[in-house]
Amino acid sequence: MELSVLFLAIPGGWEWIVIILAILLLFGGRKIPELMKGLGQGMREFKKARNEALNDSKEENKKEENSDKEKS
């Protein structure tokens, strides 16, 4: 039941065309490359921060494991 509701929320072919046309009308052809560049930079920053957080948590786990072994 939940899966069918999920598929209803995903835009199909015609919906994407309407969305793209609306974006073109709102921002114009010249602003689209700037928007995509900003989106790409934002995604890169997010991935970088996520990777740093994962690395930090892995290092903390290793330190905790080492301190646990030393206590034993």
- Torsion 63-68-71-72 (CA) sign: negative
Whether the predicted pLDDT of 6 surpasses 70: no
Question: Looking at residues 26-38, what average pLDDT do you find?
Answer: 85
- Res 2: pLDDT: 58
Whether the predicted pLDDT of 55 surpasses 80: yes
Per-domain residue ranges of the chain: 2-71
Task: Quickly state the pLDDT bin for 16 (edges 50, 70, 90).
Answer: confident
Q: Concatenated DSSP letters for 45-59?
A: HHHHHHHHHHHHHHH
Question: Looking at residues 17-34, what average pLDDT do you find?
Answer: 85
Whether the predicted pLDDT of 31 surpasses 80: yes
Q: Which residues of 14-51 are buried (b: 16+ CB within 10 A; e: fewer)?
A: eeeeeeeeeeeeeeeeeeeeeeeeeeeeeeeeeeeeee
Question: Looking at residues 11-18, what average pLDDT do you find?
Answer: 85
